[in-house]
Amino acid sequence: MLRLICLSAMSALLSLSPVVLAEAADQPLKIATFDVDVTPPLGSALCDGLVPPAKSVADPLQAKGIVLLSSEKPIVLVAFDWVGIGNSGYDEFREAVAKAVGTTRERVAIHSLHQHDAPGCDFATEELLATHHLPNEQFNVAFARVAMQRLAEAAAAAVKNPQTVTHVGYGVGKVEKVASNRRVMGPDGKVKYVRYSAAKDEKVRAEPEGTIDPDVQLVTFWNGDRALAMISYYATHPQSYYGQGEVSADFVGMARRLNEQAHPGIPQIHFNGASGNVTAGKYNDGAHENRAILAGRMAAGMQLAWKATRKTPIDAGDLEWRVVPVALPLSPKVDVAKYRAVLNDEQAPKRTRVQAARNLVWAQRCQQGDKIDLTCLKLGPGYLVQMPGELFIEYQLAARKMRPDAPVCLAAYGDYGAGYIGTKIAYTQGGYETGPVSRTAPEVEDVLLNGLRALLQVKPGHGKPGDE
């Protein structure tokens, strides 16, 4: 039975009765895939203006997606080789794709892989910056509009030639020596070291991996014995080295290409999991040759997941799209008066003013009670979960623990407006991620765990960060 469920997180815990319930007769499920170039022009701002602008292109950036077609409105999943798409930018991209394929915005999920040598998009912040004579400092606005149009046109063209899906496959493969937790804890329970994407200090690299999800998960779509498309999930910050003006999809993009080369003709859409506190820092000192090494290790995990894949028959009646809108609590560290003063200070560094504008836009959203859609696609025996922000890995592990009887794949870096989203205890432990770069309060843990339970339809209290 194909269902669209739209619930608030709290009401979902009390009752899982759907607001909208539509039945589909057993019929074939169909899939369409699309792929567009989203490499910015030279001179464009990268990483929200936090690194030098683009002066060369090491490898092109892609936006890759799938459309699932049934008797109900289409479902669209898209992954971008961008640092992040947030606030009204996120809404506008979803609206454009939804209109192109004849669906609604809540049935479109767009996620970024978070490469730093790549652009982002946040139209609301750009509008605020433009009124302070700082246009295009965060990203190339004209090109973002072009990329949006390309994406919509590609999705519209793809749905004209869908392929029938008879089976869905799920597989898991371990990735060796890539991910490590960024927050290295000391004996006092506080963050001792912050292990960034490149850790040059040998003693920091020597610390244990810490809490990660070592698995790459693979979802495949088949027509009989012929694979039509694959979706992969792995949680890590994707940087090997960056900040030299060289546009790149980095090692995650390279791993995706390697895996596609191993399976010619099968498009792959890759999503970054909950990697707000996960980097390759333990295994990367910043040497440029490490990009290819990390990519090879990640691609090897994808190959293991392919070999471990188990297929299940599927039709259009085996889909269910669930939506839980949530309001995320504003961090008390977001001082509106302070950031307004910074934005108005023409002597302040441009990047500082850009950050201030981003904080002000998010604060306004929270004050207005704006909500973000958490979504889940029940796809045959498994669950594909879509979440916002730079989410901590503990949320991904909690989601998998909530459904130990089924594959659970989680993509973070949806709506990028919130920035880092830590666990409740993490906000007491120090470290980079739960400082001023996080725009959410510690209570965000309760909101998101309640949302995950509603999406996965499990009992209140089941699955908490730290009890893995």
Per-residue pLDDT of the chain (468 residues; tens, 9 = 90+): 334 444 444 444 433 333 333 334 468 999 999 999 999 999 999 999 999 999 999 999 999 999 999 989 999 999 999 999 999 999 999 999 999 999 999 999 999 999 999 999 999 999 999 999 999 999 999 999 999 999 999 999 999 999 999 999 999 999 999 999 999 999 999 999 999 999 999 999 999 999 999 999 999 999 999 999 999 999 999 999 999 999 999 999 999 999 999 999 999 999 999 999 999 999 999 999 999 999 999 999 999 999 999 999 999 999 999 999 999 999 999 999 999 999 999 999 999 999 999 999 999 999 999 999 999 999 999 999 999 999 999 999 999 999 999 999 999 999 999 999 999 999 999 999 999 899 999 999 999 999 999 999 998 766 666 544
Three-state secondary structure call for residue 34: strand
Q: Is the distance from CB of 139 to CB of 279 less than 8 angstroms?
A: no
Q: What is the pLDDT of residue 6?
A: 47
**What single-letter DSSP state applies at residue 20?**
B
Could you tell me which residues come within 8 angstroms of residue 422 by beta carbon, excluding any fewer than 6 positions away? 276, 277, 392, 433, 434, 438, 440, 442, 444, 445
Question: In whole angstroms, what separates CA 255 from the centre of its chain?
Answer: 17
Three-state secondary structure call for residue 68: strand
Token reading at 353: 């003013």
Would you put residue 85 in left (φ > 0), alpha (ψ -120 to 50) or beta?
beta
Token reading at 282: 């333990």
Cα–Cα distance measured from residue 269 to residue 256, given in angstroms and rounded to the nearest whole number: 8
The amino acid sitting at 22 is A
**Burial call 98-111: b when 16+ CB within 10 Å, e when fewer:** bebbebebbbbbbb
Q: Is the distance from CB of 377 to CB of 383 less than 8 angstroms?
A: yes
